[in-house]
Structure 1
Amino acid sequence: MKKLRSPCRHPDITLPDMSVEFSVLHAALDRAVSYRGRVTDTPCGPVRNYREMLEVFSEPLPEAGSEDVDVLNDLADRGEQGLNPMTHPMFFGWVLGGSAPAGVAADWLCSAWGQNAAFHASSPTSAAIESVASTWLLDLLGLPADAAVGFVTGATVGNFTALAAARGAVLRQIGWDPDNDGLFGAPPITVFVGDDAHTSVFSALGYLGLGRRRVKRVETDGQGRMDAVGLARQIRNHRGAAIVVAQAGQINTGAFDPFSELQEIAGEKNAWLHVDGAFGLWARAHPHYRHLTKGVECADSWAVDGHKWLQTPFDCGYAIVRDKNSLERAMSVDASYLPSGDNNDRIPCFLVPELSRRARGLPTWAMLKTLGKRGVEEIIARHCGIARQIADRLQQATGVRIVNDVVLNQVIVSFGEPGLDLPERNRLTEAVIETLRSEGSIFVGGARWREEWVMRISVICNATMPADADLVADVILDAWKAVSGSQE
C-alpha cells in the first residue's frame, strides 16, 4: 500500500481549537435534522411569501461580524418561514424530487471536503467517483456504455451542454468548426422541436446562439408527443446542418415522443437527435415502464436530472453524449497551469461548461449505492402507481376530468361541468388550486395545457407513499366540493 504523506503542518504554527472552529457545522446539522423532522408537522407551503421574506431579511450590511453559530441560527430562524417544503410527502407542485437523506449527507461531505472537481489532480476522489457513477448511470438507463457523462446543475444546463456538442458536430460535417471559429458567417443550423417541448430547451438554444424563436416547430398530438409524420414532412426538403430535439416525459402529461421513428427520420438527413429526458428518461430504469422509451437509446445525446427521480439534492443533472469527442471539443479548456491528460482520461471539466465546480458526483454515487437498481425501480413503480390511484379516484367524481393519459407520474386535472365554457372551467380550476394551497394539507401546481388551465399533480418525492394516495384524492375532492358548492 502506498504510504500516505505526513500532515501539511509546520511545527512552529499553532492551529486554533478545532472543536470551537467547527461548532457551526454541528449547529447546522442540528438545525437541518430538526427541520427535516418537523416538515410534515407544518402546512404544505411557505408560511411567508417572497415580499414578506424580503422584509424579514432586509437590513444594512453590518459594520462588524457576528459569531458564526449565531449567524447560522439566525439564518435558520428567519429562513424557515419562507421555505417551500419540497421534501414533504404531500408536495406535488413541480417535478422536483425529495432530496433523500443519503444524498443530502453526501452533499454535506462534498461541501465540507471543499473540493474543486475540475481535474484528476485537483480532486482524485471526486474524479474517480464521477467516473464510477457515470458507468452506473449508463447501465441503469440502458444507454451506450461508452457515452460521455457530464455532471451539470440540472436539465437546463444538461440540454445546453449536449446541444453545444450537437452544434459543433453538425457544423463540422459541412466544414465549419464553431467551437474554434464561432458562428459569425457559419452555415445555418435548423432545429426541429416539438410544439410542446419544455421551456429549458428554448433557453438552451438561446444561450447557444441558435435562437429561441428560430426553430421549426413540429406539431404534436393531444398528449404532447411529436408527430413523426409532421417531422418527416418538414425535414424532407431540408439541406444542411440539422438538430432534432425530442422529449422523454412531457412536463404536463408525462408523454413520450416516438423515438425510433424520429431517429430514422433524423438519420436520413444526418441530423443530430437530442432527447430532453429530465424526469422521463428514468422510466428506462424500470422494466414495466421501459417500453415508453423504445428507441431512445439510439439518440445522439440526452439530458436528465438526478434531483428528480434519483432524489439527489439540488443541483444535480447529467449531460450524456454518445460521441465523447464532440462533447470535449465543445467544453474543454486549456491553460498552461491546468493539468492535462491522455486521450483515455475522463477529465471532468472537459465535459461541462464549468472549470470551478463542486463535486456533485458524490450525491449521485451515494444515492445509486444506497438504492441500487431495485431501489430505483421501487421508487418509480411506487410514484407511478400513486399517480394512477389518485387519477382513478378523481375521475369518478362529477365535474372532475383527468385531462391526460396517466402513463407515468404526472396527472393534470380540470374542474367544471362539461357544459361550462372554457373561461369558467379555468376559473374553477384555479379556485380549487388556491383552496388547496390556503388549506395547506397538500401543495399542487397550475399550468396551461393547450387553452385550458389545469391542476398539475407531480408525484416524485421519495417520502410519498401509497397510503397517501387516497388522502390526496380526498383533500382535492373536498376542495372541489367547497368551490362548486359556493357557486350554487
Structure 2
Amino acid sequence: MSDELALLAEADRLAADYLHSVAERRVFPTQQALDDLVAFDEELPTAPSAAGDTLNMLRRYGDPASVTSNGGRYFGFVIGASLPEAAAAERLALAWDQCASSYVNSPVMAKIEEVATKWVLEILDLPRESQIGFGTSATACGLSVLAAARRTLLARHGWNVDEDGLMGAPEIKLVVPQTVHITVKKAARLLGFGMNRLIEAPCDEYGRVIPEQLPALDDRTILVLQAGEVNMGEFDRFAEIIPMAQKAGAWVHVDGAFGLWARASTSKKALTDGIELADSWTTDGHKWLNTPYDGAMAICRHADELAVALNSDAVYSTAEPYAQKNLVLEFSRRGRGMPIWAALRSLGREGVDEMVTRHCNQAQMLAEGLRAKGVTVLNRVVLNQVLCTLGDATKNEALLNRVTEEGEVWFGPSKWQGESVFRLSVSSWRTTDADIARAVEVIGRGNQEVLSGPYSQADSSRAVMVSEE
C-alpha cells in the first residue's frame, strides 16, 4: 500500500508542477517534443516494469508533447481549462473508483448526479421536469436523445421500434441547419438516417436557420436547431421556429454544446429566448463550464421517454427509472456528473455568469485588437467565437504555421461558406485580458511577417488540424 501511495503522491507532485507552468509554457509543443514521441513505440513488455518507470516515461516524453489547453492562451477550440474544484473532485472520484450506474452501485454518485441535474436545470432555466444523462460528449448525448426522439415519434404512430425495429416503420425525417455540426451528422449516420436523406434548412449570413424558409414539418419530423453555431457563434431564432415545429407535432432538439451556457449569463441570455420550448438539448461541461474532459449532458423534457429508450436493466441489475445507466449509452460508467456538480457548487450562479460574460467581453476585445492589426473579422462576435481571415488560404495557412512555431498562442483553421478562415475561441477560466493582448500582438506580428513576403511552410501539418469542437 505504501508503494501505491508513494506513486500517487509523485503523480500529484508532477501534476502540480505542470499546472504551475501553464501560465508561461508553450501552447503547442516544439517539433523536438513531437519527434520524441517515438519513445512510446515500444514492444509490449514481457515482465512487469519497476515501480515509477511508467510515470517517469510520461513525465519525460508526455509532458513536453502536451498541448497547453489547460492554460489561458489556447484559443483553438472551445476547450475550457479545468476549474480547480472540478479537477480536485475528479481526482477524488478516481480514488473512490465508483461504478456510477445506479443507486445500489454508488449511493453517493447517484445523489451527487441527482443534485447536479437539479442545479443544471436551474442555472440553464430549462423545464424542471427534465432529466439529464451525464455522458461522454455532445456526440454521444446527441445520439441518445435523437434515438429517444425517433422512438417517441414512432410510438405516437403505433410503431414499437424496440420490438419491430425500423424495417417497414414509418419514415422519421431529420431536418438540420445547413451549418449543422459534424457531430450531429455523425449521430444521424450511426442511427441510420442516411446522409442523403437529411433535409437541410436554409441559413442566413450568420449561419442561423431562416424561419420563412423552414422545410415542411409534421409529426414524423425531428428538427435540430443550434445554440452557438460553431463558426459564427450565432443562435437560431427559437422563439419563432419552435412554436411552428410544435404546431406541426415535430420534436425539436437543440445542439448547444457550448452555446447553451449563454443562458447562464445575464447579458447573453436573450440570445436563447424560446429555447426552453424545445424537447431536448445537449451541452458539454468540458467546454464552457470548464470541467475536465469527457463530461457532457443529454437533457430531455420527456424524462420517461429518454429512460425507456436507453433502459439497460438486466436480471441481475435493475435500478430506479432515472438511474444514469438508463439515461446514457454506458452501462458501466464513472460519475461524470461529479465534476459538473463541483464546478457549479464552487462558482455558484454568479460565478458562472461572470465567467461566461467575461469570455464574451474578451472575445470582443480580441476582435477589436485584431481589426486594428489588419485582420479581417468575419462575424458579429455575439458570443465567444472570433472568425477571421487574411484574405486567402495561403496567407491564413502561413499565419497559422508562424503562430504554431512561435508557441505563444494556438488556434486552428476552419471553413466558412467554402472559404479558408481561422477561428479563435475564448473559453478558459484562466484567460486574462493580458492573454488577449498577448494574442493580439502575436497574431499582429505574424500578419506583418506574412504580408512582408513569402513564408516558408516548413511543416504545414502542425497548423492544419480538425477537431469535433
TM bin (shorter chain): over 0.9
TM-superposed CA distance for 1:280, in Å, is 0.2
Paired residue secondary structure (1:22): helix
Are the aligned partners of 2:30 and 2:405 in contact in 1 as well (CA < 8 Å)? no
> 1:249 aligns to what?
228
Matched, 1:317 2:296: yes
TM-superposed CA distance for 1:47, in Å, is 2.8
Q: Deviations over 1:102-136 (max 9, x none)?
A: 11111111111110000100000000000000000
Instruction: Measure the CA separation in 2 of the matches of 1:56 and 1:164.
Output: 43
> 1:3 aligns to what?
none
Paired residue secondary structure (1:338): coil
Range moving further from structure 2, 181-190 or 248-257: 181-190
Range moving further from structure 2, 181-190 or 312-321: 181-190
Matched, 1:194 2:188: no
Are the aligned partners of 1:121 and 1:339 in contact in 2 as well (CA < 8 Å)? no
Paired residue secondary structure (2:159): coil
Taking structure 1 as reference, are residues 105 and 212 closer, same or farther at Cα in structure 2, changes over 3 Å only? farther
> 2:432 aligns to what?
465
* Paired letter, 2:438: L
> 2:243 aligns to what?
264
Matched, 1:449 2:416: yes
Task: Select which of 126, 129, 133 maps to 1:150.
Answer: 133
* Paired letter, 2:153: V
TM-score, normalised via structure 2 length: 0.94
TM-score, normalised via structure 1 length: 0.90
Task: Select which of 132, 154, 158 maps to 2:115.
Answer: 132
TM-superposed CA distance for 1:324, in Å, is 0.6
Paired residue secondary structure (1:268): helix
* Paired letter, 1:248: A
Task: Select which of 373, 390, 402 maps to 2:377.
Answer: 402
Instruction: Measure the CA separation in 1 of the matches of 2:197 and 2:341.
Output: 39
Instruction: Measure the CA separation in 2 of the matches of 1:307 and 1:49.
Output: 29
> 2:397 aligns to what?
430
Instruction: Measure the CA separation in 2 of the matches of 1:19 and 1:239.
Output: 64
Taking structure 1 as reference, are residues 53 and 215 closer, same or farther at Cα in structure 2, changes over 3 Å only? farther
Q: Deviations over 1:51-99 (max 9, x none)?
A: 7355220011111111332221222221113211101211001111111
Taking structure 1 as reference, are residues 473 and 349 closer, same or farther at Cα in structure 2, changes over 3 Å only? same
Are the aligned partners of 2:137 and 2:284 in contact in 1 as well (CA < 8 Å)? yes
Moved >4 Å (runs of 4+): 48-51
What 5-or-longer segments of structure 2 have no aligned partner? Answer: 456-469
> 1:391 aligns to what?
367
Q: Could you say which structure has the larger radius of gyration?
A: 1
Paired residue secondary structure (2:411): strand
Are the aligned partners of 1:228 and 1:262 in contact in 2 as well (CA < 8 Å)? yes
Task: Select which of 342, 348, 351 maps to 1:375.
Answer: 351
Taking structure 1 as reference, are residues 212 and 104 closer, same or farther at Cα in structure 2, changes over 3 Å only? farther
* Paired letter, 1:34: D
Instruction: Measure the CA separation in 2 of the matches of 1:377 and 1:198.
Output: 26
Instruction: Measure the CA separation in 2 of the matches of 1:213 and 1:318.
Output: 28
Taking structure 1 as reference, are residues 438 and 388 closer, same or farther at Cα in structure 2, changes over 3 Å only? same
Paired residue secondary structure (2:77): coil
Percent same amino acid at aligned positions? 39
* Paired letter, 1:384: C
Instruction: Measure the CA separation in 2 of the matches of 1:347 and 1:382.
Output: 36
Are the aligned partners of 2:37 and 2:62 in contact in 1 as well (CA < 8 Å)? no
Task: Select which of 306, 326, 335 maps to 1:359.
Answer: 335
TM-superposed CA distance for 1:50, in Å, is 9.8
* Paired letter, 2:174: V
Q: Deviations over 1:456-481 (max 9, x none)?
A: 10000111012322221111111100
Q: Deviations over 1:20-73 (max 9, x none)?
A: 332211111111111111123321102358973552200111111113322212
- Aligned length, in residue pairs: 455
Taking structure 1 as reference, are residues 362 and 455 closer, same or farther at Cα in structure 2, changes over 3 Å only? same
* Paired letter, 1:101: P
Instruction: Measure the CA separation in 1 of the matches of 2:402 and 2:296.
Output: 34
TM-superposed CA distance for 1:148, in Å, is 0.7
Are the aligned partners of 1:150 and 1:319 in contact in 2 as well (CA < 8 Å)? yes
Instruction: Measure the CA separation in 2 of the matches of 1:354 and 1:312.
Output: 20
Paired residue secondary structure (1:91): coil
Paired residue secondary structure (1:68): coil
Instruction: Measure the CA separation in 1 of the matches of 2:19 and 2:166.
Output: 49
> 1:483 aligns to what?
450
- Structure 1 residues 43-442: aligned runs within 5 Å: 43-48=26-31, 52=35, 55-231=38-214, 234-235=215-216, 241-341=220-320, 346-398=322-374, 400-416=375-391, 425-442=392-409
Are the aligned partners of 1:303 and 1:318 in contact in 2 as well (CA < 8 Å)? yes
Instruction: Measure the CA separation in 2 of the matches of 1:54 and 1:76.
Output: 12
TM-superposed CA distance for 1:483, in Å, is 0.5
Paired residue secondary structure (2:175): strand
* Paired letter, 1:149: I
TM-superposed CA distance for 1:179, in Å, is 2.9
Are the aligned partners of 1:275 and 1:303 in contact in 2 as well (CA < 8 Å)? yes
Instruction: Measure the CA separation in 2 of the matches of 1:487 and 1:30.
Output: 45
Taking structure 1 as reference, are residues 239 and 392 closer, same or farther at Cα in structure 2, changes over 3 Å only? closer
Are the aligned partners of 2:103 and 2:319 in contact in 1 as well (CA < 8 Å)? no
Instruction: Measure the CA separation in 1 of the matches of 2:350 and 2:344.
Output: 10
* Paired letter, 2:247: E
Instruction: Measure the CA separation in 2 of the matches of 1:53 and 1:255.
Output: 41
Paired residue secondary structure (1:136): helix
Instruction: Measure the CA separation in 2 of the matches of 1:375 and 1:136.
Output: 14
* Paired letter, 1:152: G
Paired residue secondary structure (1:379): helix
Taking structure 1 as reference, are residues 47 and 101 closer, same or farther at Cα in structure 2, changes over 3 Å only? farther
Are the aligned partners of 1:47 and 1:83 in contact in 2 as well (CA < 8 Å)? no
